Amino acid sequence: MASTCRVVVLISGNGSNLQAIIDASQQKDYPARVVAVLSNKTEAYGLHRAQAAGIDTQIIEHSAYSDRITYDQALMQAIDHYQPDLVVLAGFMRILSDDFVQHYENRLLNIHPSLLPKYKGLHTHRRVLEAGDKQHGASVHFVTPSLDDGPLILQTAIEVRPDDTVASLAKRVHAVEHRIYPQAIRWFAEGRLHRKDNRTYLDNTELKPNAGT
């Protein structure tokens, strides 16, 4: 990308991934910057993180809209005001309509707390513990209309320990997320990341983060 990649981040909560992206973007050679942070929850702590970094924030509460379609339209309008090159979901907890996803096709990323395609949806840490899995992790993917199903970009595994709890797992998964999300955004901003159908390429090499798992 010729100039700095403009990123809009959507959050619902704590925003530790947002913080990791803000921290990365403050490095001199980082090719992306966060131009706005939007939340569907008034109390999201991530809004304070954005404000502390001098980034515009906006709250768009779904309770104020009659249905998902109308809500998503309002969200799109707010996002497009910032003319983003990239939109990233960072702990954003609302399923997005097909129209929304199509509008940002190939420039919409999500981070999900599991080794996708395992454990799509919610409560992944609990489900991993219940299943007795030995590995867990986090995945960055392009968003497609079907939930947590888009082409993978980056994935990192952690070992599950016998004494792990939801909280201890979440903590180690977060540490991984804070590394891989800024990396994926860097690749995108450098113009090195491409999606074709259900595949992702870094430069001209196909990315297969979960090959062999």
How many residues belong to the site for ligand NHR (CB under 6 A)?
16
Q: Which of 48, 81, 112, 174 is catalytic?
A: 112
Which x/- pattern over 167-186 shows residues binding ligand GAR (rule: CB under 6 A)? -------x--x---------
The residue range among 17-25, 93-101, 155-163, 203-211 that interacts with ligand NHR, by the rule CB under 6 A, is 93-101
**Nearest 10 degrees: Cα torsion 35, 138, 153, 191:** 30
Partner from ligand NHR, ligand GAR, none binding residue 31, C-beta < 5-8 Å depending on class: none
- In this structure, what token pair is assigned to residue 74? 């309002």
How far from 184 is each of 26, 91, 154, 159, 165, CA to CA, in Å? 16, 16, 7, 22, 28
Q: How far is the CB of 53 from ligand GAR (least distance, A)?
A: 15
Using CA atoms, how far apart are residues 46 and 60, in angstroms rounded to an integer? 14
Residue 85 identity: D
Q: How far is the CB of 113 from ligand NHR (least distance, A)?
A: 7
Pick between residue 120 and residue 161 the one whose CB is nearest to ligand NHR. Answer: 120
Q: Does 79 bind ligand NHR (CB under 6 A)?
A: no
Backbone angles phi, psi at 98, to 5 degrees: -55, -40
Q: Does 113 bind ligand GAR (CB under 6 A)?
A: yes
Is 174 in the active site? Answer: no
Backbone angles phi, psi at 6, to 5 degrees: -90, 120
* Residues acting as catalytic residues: 112
